[in-house]
Amino acid sequence: MRKPFQGVTNIIRFNWHFYAIALMMVILLMLTATYLDSSLQPIIYTFCGLVSGSIVLSLLASLYVYDLSGLYRLNWITPQNTESQILNIHAGFDETSALLKDKFRNSALEVLDFYDPQKHTEVSIKRARKAYPPFSKTKQVETSDLQLQTCSADKIFVIFSAHEIRNIKERALFFQELARVLKPQGQIYITEHLRDLPNFVAYNIGFCHFYSRGSWLKVFRNANLNIRQEIKLTPFVSTFILDKNGNTL
């Protein structure tokens, strides 16, 4: 069970350095403004207000997405009761394996962690790994080698983790691996924020950490994966359901 406000609390907890730097900058600017010409003070105060407002807005958006929207109830996933093998693949921070295990009670769940500190250098991931122990029997893998048999998985979930693969070639190889291990009638669920207008409004320049819809579509096509369905879970989060036989949108 997720705790109240777990999502937004984790964001602050794992990215506290960003908020600390922003707070210090605002305080220093406000103090400096008192010693400057009065004509400059409104400009500085306005800038400080914009920075503070942007931070508050991003935290409110995160509160909505991760704590209030029902995202982690996983109602957007419908088990067919025919799945024998479920994969959950993450980048070192796993919030969903226990939820998927409960969702697919009659299926075998295998959890893969592709985190590599040499490639995936986000300090927030390192902090998250220290705070949360891995799910039981989680297997460490490479993005280019999932160490699984070809056509072995009925459903593959990659939730808020594919964007951590920042290298284009590595990301392409990863999706080729997903396609390889997927059964002919299987499905891949890719859940991500997009680099679009709603996420720009919510996260300002932070939206650059995400990828555009067009970028994801190109990755899917290059891996010979098609979009069966696209679900807009909130204005800020999209899930692409992929297979080998669907229609490309």
Name the band, by pLDDT with cuts 50, 70 and 90, for residue 247. Answer: very low
Helix runs in the chain, H state only? 6-14, 16-33, 41-63, 97-103, 123-131, 168-181, 197-203, 213-222
Q: What is the pLDDT of residue 236?
A: 97
Q: Give yes or no for residue 124 having a pLDDT over 60.
A: yes
Kindly indicate whether the domain formed by 74-243 is annotated with CATH number 3.40.50.920: no
Contact 208, 186 (CB under 8 A): no
Residue type, 202: A
Give the HSE-up count for residue 31: Cα atoms under 13 Å, Cβ half-sphere.
6
pLDDT given for residue 248 in this prediction: 46
The SS3 assignment for 182 reads strand
Q: What is the tens place of the pLDDT at every residue in 193-216?
A: 999 999 999 999 999 999 999 999
Average pLDDT value over all residues in the chain: 93
pLDDT digits (tens, 9 = 90+) for 27-71: 999 999 988 888 899 999 999 999 999 999 999 999 999 999 999
**At residue 102, does pLDDT exceed 90?**
yes
Look at the block and give the residue holding tokens 């009065």: 38
Neighbours of 131 (CB within 10 A): 11
Say how far apart CA 148 and CA 130 lie, in whole Å: 27
234 contacts 75 by C-beta, under 8 angstroms = no
CA distances to 30, 142, 155, 207, 237 from 220, in Å: 48, 19, 16, 21, 18
Strands (E), 91-163: 108-113, 139-140, 153-159
pLDDT of residue 246: 57
CA separation for the pair 232, 50 (Å, rounded):
29
Token code pair at residue 146: 């999932």
Residue in the structure block whose two tokens are 């993005």: 143
Whether the pLDDT of residue 249 is over 70: the answer is: no
* b/e code 155-183 from CB counts within 10 Å (16+ = b): bbbbbbbbbbbeeeebbbbbbbbbbebbb
- Are 44 and 33 a contacting pair, CB within 8 Å? yes
